Amino acid sequence: MAGTASQGIFTLDKKICIESCSSVVGKKEGDGPLGKYFDEVITDGHFGKQTWEQAESQFQLEAVSIAIRKADIYKEDIDVICSGDLLNQCIGSAYGLRELGIPFLGIYGACSTMAEGMIIAALLAESGSADRTAAVTSSHFSTAERQFRTPLEYGGQRTPTSQWTCTASGAVILSERGKVRVVGGCIGTIADMGITDMTNMGSAMAPAAAETIKRYLTATGTVPEDYDCIVTGDLGKVGSRLVKEILLKQGIDITAQHHDCGEMIFDCETQDTHCGGSGCGCSASVLCGYFIPMLENGGAENILFAATGALMSPTSVQQGSSIPSIAHLVHLRKEN
């Protein structure tokens, strides 16, 4: 709780709202079941740039620019922006945002980045050190494939448990204005159940999601029925089944409330994405394109957003290490 220490659990005293948000996705994401909800679909994977890495940066810049326009503010009105991505040294963020001149906090939470950024952005506002803050993240299928797996030209076979890294970005701007309030949240702890299979991230991340959701429910004395939706980041099909099983064994049934951004963004059957979407941009774009507007429009009143991240690297996995995971949670509520 604000004012009392509680191991990463917090509730905000100030009115801190989502002033605006935006989502920009690639062609495949635009062709998926949520296509009509995103602000922009960019059909050119290079986004007019020479490299995919530069394109990913452009996705972030575009997402922030749209959010700024929607809020009807100037970029100078944003006091701090929190951003990170999956690329080595988070270059998607640094190069994407360098021209904005906004005070910048680089973060790394793998696919949990959107929730982490929102938490830091909200707590900076709560601290009084900033009036208006922002968070953004991105991922790109082609940058992720060649960095984490194999060059696209290699045409590697994908395993049944694999997920498809989304080409997408999502951004939020937080201030005292807005219809959706950040009520509180939970900063995750690192979970590691010993999984070493880089093509089965959902299973690696599910225990982290379960732990964070349980901690927040326990600390706030709430039950799944108190929420319209309990959204996980990108566990995909396997991880989604697992998180529900883990929680059920502890007496918490989230079956009726659970949605997973990785399961939602693609039609896995027709889009050949195996277990679903992944990447920082997956949960960021689904949150900003689908769930936040749902709250704004009155389609839901209370949502828990628990984005999950796998904190390994190709190097650590090649060295035989298991995959540490984390989930950060943000509680969003419609302002009455």
Task: Establish if 268 lies at the interface with a second copy (CB under 8 A).
Answer: no
Give the strand pairing for 258-260 and 229-232: parallel
What distance separates the 2 farthest-apart alpha carbons in the chain? 54
Smallest distance from the beta carbon of 307 to a second copy, in angstroms? 13
Q: Is the dihedral of CA 71, 301, 111, 37 positive or negative?
A: negative
78-117 mask for a second copy (x: CB under 8 A)? Answer: -xx---x-xxxxxx--xx-xx--xxxxxxxxxx-----x-
Write down the residue that tokens 């935006």 correspond to.
22
Smallest distance from the beta carbon of 109 to a second copy, in angstroms? 5
CA distance 235 to 261: 8
Residue placing its CB nearer to a second copy in the complex, 240 or 278: 278
Rule CB under 8 A: choose which of 48, 50, 157, 336 binds a second copy: 50
Task: Establish if 218 lies at the interface with a second copy (CB under 8 A).
Answer: no
Smallest distance from the beta carbon of 176 to a second copy, in angstroms? 11
Smallest distance from the beta carbon of 224 to a second copy, in angstroms? 22
Contact 272, 298 (CB under 8 A): no
φ, ψ for residue 269, nearest 5 deg: -70, -50
Nearest CA-CA partner of 262 in 245, 97, 242:
242
Task: Establish if 48 lies at the interface with a second copy (CB under 8 A).
Answer: no
Instruction: Output DSSP code: residue 33.
Output: T
Residue placing its CB nearer to a second copy in the complex, 32 or 178: 178
- The SS3 of residue 183 is strand
φ, ψ for residue 27, nearest 5 deg: -65, -45
Smallest distance from the beta carbon of 93 to a second copy, in angstroms? 8
Q: Which residues bind a second copy (CB under 8 A)?
A: 1-8, 10, 13, 50-51, 53-54, 76, 79-80, 84, 86-91, 94-95, 97-98, 101-110, 116, 119-120, 123-124, 126-132, 147, 186-190, 192, 311-316, 319, 321, 324, 326
